[in-house]
Structure 1
């Protein structure tokens, strides 16, 4: 795929995801079921907002520059891990769990939890212009999830037990299970980030170009 085609595809995905969230919010508002504090506390929603920014910024970069910057690629790598975990948790743990709240339209959930993560993975695998990342960039991955977990547990404690996902509720899942989920998800996120960085550093045109430049080391940016 050429850079301009990638740029157009990223912009289409970004604005399509934005439209999906707008429809989902509008559906909740129309049914008097929109609680901003609840809605914007979901990991999926917050990372979807990140994905919109990454898609749009990435689209502009692809249209204007021959290669993505190291900073953008680092953020993109982190959001890639969040998207994969979002898809995995939803499809493996939450898809068939009964939900007592407002059900709403079904297709926005499919786009957010299935199709957008798939597009993000494909973008990482096949889009040209991605620089090879240094291993130190892996430390960026846990920053947001740790902050989100701290916020979610604190919110649940002060709100009388309102947690965004059942596996984070110590009253029903137990603290042992909650801690196990947190540790497991943290390991998975860092592992996915490591795989993404390793893929960016594979021997190929992009990796070789990042290694060449006057004998400097990888990813000085």
Structure 2
């Protein structure tokens, strides 16, 4: 059974890698056709999306998780369980936010590759949730670990808001760049007030999802060895 789950994780990792690379190559072609000169900056922007970073984390979880399933029995290391829980949280939130706020909106990474977009925002979030629920090895997580699961989103939000006003956008000619429209105070109806509202709202969603992920890990009928 562990071997079967390991193979499933490898397939999930392959899908995530293909989607990330596919979108990056599509974006590179789009930037080239629009005479973008600062490609390193454009690539940095690409990897500044919460979606991309979360999917990279999911790929790491799937690959290392498959290695654990193939090479050992019993429970996973506690650090990996916490990392896996954190990534599952971020992926679930990615799926929720995309489908509620961003579906149908062209994002500034360049021309969107549709199949990649669906894998990154729908397929991998579902796989991350299913992996958390059913794949062997997970240990119960203590409630006092919840704050650790919130560190990355907080750091990302601070990084995004500090960096945004000082990052030029070659495609639009603007002197600022933000990965998502709802984080852009220059186009939001109420500027930073609207942005602050969305940040607080998404922080609350992340906290609730993280709490749910921890709760599931502590249910006897979901605790896996």
TM-score, structure 2 length as denominator?
0.85
Shift of the 13–205 alpha-carbon distance from structure 1 to 2, 3 Å rule, reads closer
| Mapped contact 2:27–2:109 kept (Cα < 8 A) | no
Unaligned runs of 5+ in 2: 34-38, 168-174
Instruction: Give me the whole-angstrom Cα distance separating, in 2, the residues matched to 1:205 and 1:49.
Output: 26
Does 2:65 match 1:62?
Answer: no
Instruction: Give me the whole-angstrom Cα distance separating, in 2, the residues matched to 1:68 and 1:157.
Output: 42
| Mapped contact 2:12–2:62 kept (Cα < 8 A) | yes
- The offset of 1:41, in angstroms, is 1.1
Q: Give the alignment's Cα RMSD to 1 decimal.
A: 1.8
| Mapped contact 1:27–1:105 kept (Cα < 8 A) | yes
Instruction: Give me the whole-angstrom Cα distance separating, in 2, the residues matched to 1:121 and 1:101.
Output: 26
| Mapped contact 2:108–2:179 kept (Cα < 8 A) | no
TM-score, structure 1 length as denominator?
0.87
Shift of the 101–138 alpha-carbon distance from structure 1 to 2, 3 Å rule, reads closer
Shift of the 98–105 alpha-carbon distance from structure 1 to 2, 3 Å rule, reads closer
For residue 120 of structure 1, what is the aligned residue in structure 2? 128
- The offset of 1:98, in angstroms, is 4.7
- The offset of 1:29, in angstroms, is 2.3
For residue 219 of structure 1, what is the aligned residue in structure 2? none
Q: Match of 1:128, SS? A: coil
Does 2:43 match 1:36?
Answer: yes
